[in-house]
Amino acid sequence: TYVIAQPCVDIKDRACVTECPVDCIYEGARTLYINPAECVDCHACEPVCPVEAIFHEDDLPRHWAHYLAVNAEYFDEAASPSRARRDAVGDHPAVEALPPQSG
Ligand code: F3S
Ligand code: F3S
């Protein structure tokens, strides 16, 4: 799967969304998330992100390695039963905890 990492936070350019042929990129409050159950590794999203936030899971920089779980867990309703993760509300707790990201 491909993964959206920290550079997207508070930027949300959304160029990736229009490129994805399977519509597996979902919007949260401060960042977007790729659903690993739906991503077909087509790679279309990665080159269009102006802040280079998107990586194949095998190419994630080490300091953002946890974003593989951040993206996956956003869609894991068992991990957050109180929130409908597909409704473009809220964020993964690891993203919620970040201070404001300035470009
Ligand atoms: Fe974010 Fe880049 Fe997409 S900033 S919304 S990952 S184009
Ligand atoms: Fe879509 Fe990017 Fe995966 S364009 S199918 S999220 S590689």
Q: Is the CB of 54 under 6 A from ligand 1?
A: yes
CA of 98 to the centre of ligand 2 (A): 25
Question: Could you give the CA distance from residue 47 to residue 11 in angstroms, rounded to a whole number?
Answer: 16
Domain count, the chain: 1
Is residue 103 in a domain? Answer: no
Quote the DSSP letter at residue 83.
Answer: S
Q: What's the predicted TM-score (pTM) here? A: 0.91
CA of 80 to the centre of ligand 1 (A): 24
Q: Give me the domain span that covers residue 11.
A: 2-96
3-state secondary structure of 33: strand
Question: Could you give the CA distance from residue 45 to residue 53 in angstroms, rounded to a whole number?
Answer: 10
Ligand in nearest proximity to the CA of 2? 2
Give this complex's ipTM.
Answer: 0.98
CATH number at residue 86: 3.30.70.20
pLDDT digits (tens, 9 = 90+) for 85-94: 555 568 999 9
Is residue 15 in a domain? Answer: yes
Is residue 102 in a domain? Answer: no
**Protein residue with least CA distance to atom 7, ligand 1:** 49
pLDDT digits (tens, 9 = 90+) for 2-60: 999 999 999 999 999 999 999 999 999 999 999 999 999 999 999 999 999 999 999 99
Is residue 101 in a domain? Answer: no
List helix spans (H) across the chain: 15-19, 67-74, 93-96
* CA atoms in the 13 A half-sphere facing the CB of 11: 20
3-state secondary structure of 55: strand
Structural tokens at position 26: 């979902």
Structural tokens at position 28: 């949260």
Q: Which atom of ligand 2 is nearest to the CA of 16?
A: 4
